[in-house]
């Protein structure tokens, strides 16, 4: 079950988008829980109170809090980079303004079913078609963590730290063994670091910046495999391969 929030001040547009998703749920191979909002303020308040979504489908030109304001709240204040944002608008002049909130796609109204389905499928490639969990042993307890909350794993001698959005969990283990327990969007960049590509803010030749603004070095040993992983991921998401 994927949770989607649609936010548009035009009731008909919200209904059309909701119908496209529900009518094509078999084609998408998923089920959806959809909530509709007619103002940006209402959606932001809902998220402040603890609601979370896999996809936000947002009109840009909302009265009051705009679609861009919602995106900035999600990324900058809530530090949520799991939720995929799809913007819809009757105008095509927003590319640079949208860059900072890392949207999944930008769709020009009227929304065409084929375009929206393609965008959601791209989102599945990023967040996965199911919720992934990582299990580790902390003392005598087995702890289960949602992978979407993990930024990276680090190792210092025998102590592994799982760094999440809101906290960090430490336990004894070997980092090399933990990589095999993680989904394919986790990749090792250093003997001491495994990162979540879905929590990657920026990558350079010899380091990456995660969504909490922490910088992690890429060692020479893992440099080529990391570049290949990034390229194959980009190719799959943008070229449909």
3-class secondary-structure state, position 91:
coil
Domain tally for the chain? Answer: 2
User: Is pLDDT above 80 for 236?
Assistant: no
Answer yes or no: do 26 and 120 share one domain. yes
Helix axes 220-239, 113-127, angle to 10 degrees: 160
d(CA 227, CA 102): 20
> Looking at the chain, how many residues does it have?
241
Answer yes or no: do 117 and 155 share one domain. no
Answer yes or no: do 100 and 138 share one domain. no
Encode burial over 118-142: b for 16+ CB neighbours within 10 A, e otherwise.
ebbbbbbebbbeeebebebeeeeee
Q: pLDDT digit string (tens) for 23-48?
A: 999 999 888 999 999 999 999 999 99
Q: 196 with 186: CB under 8 angstroms?
A: yes
Query: What pLDDT, on a 0 to 100 scale, did the predictor assign at position 44?
Result: 96
Answer yes or no: do 14 and 46 share one domain. yes
Answer yes or no: do 146 and 222 share one domain. yes
Q: pLDDT digit string (tens) for 149-196?
A: 899 999 998 899 999 988 899 999 999 899 999 988 899 999 999 999
Helix axes 11-23, 113-127, angle to 10 degrees: 70
- Domain span including residue 222: 133-239
């Amino acid at each position: 079950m994927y949770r989607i929030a649609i936010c548009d001040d035009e009731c008909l547009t919200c209904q059309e988008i909701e119908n496209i998703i529900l009518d094509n749920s078999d084609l998408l191979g998923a089920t959806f829980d959809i909530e509709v909002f007619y103002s940006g303020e209402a959606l932001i308040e809902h998220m402040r109170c603890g609601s979370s979504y896999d996809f936000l489908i947002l009109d840009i030109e909302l009265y009051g809090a705009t679609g861009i304001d919602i995106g900035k709240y999600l990324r900058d204040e809530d530090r949520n980079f799991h939720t995929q944002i799809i913007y819809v608008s009757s105008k095509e002049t927003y590319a640079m303004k949208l860059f900072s909130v890392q949207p999944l796609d930008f769709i020009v109204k009227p929304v065409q079913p084929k375009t929206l389905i393609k965008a959601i499928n791209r989102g599945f490639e990023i967040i996965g078609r199911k919720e992934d969990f990582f299990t580790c042993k902390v003392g005598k307890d087995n702890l289960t963590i949602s992978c979407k909350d993990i930024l990276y794993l680090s190792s210092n001698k025998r102590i592994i730290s799982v760094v999440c959005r809101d906290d960090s969990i430490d336990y004894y283990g070997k980092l090399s063994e933990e990589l095999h327990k993680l989904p394919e969007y986790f990749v090792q960049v250093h003997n001491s670091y495994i990162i979540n590509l879905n929590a990657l803010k920026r990558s350079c030749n010899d380091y990456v910046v995660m969504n909490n603004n922490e910088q992690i070095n890429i060692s020479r040993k893992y440099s080529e495999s990391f570049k290949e992983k990034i390229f194959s991921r980009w190719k799959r998401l943008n070229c449909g391969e």
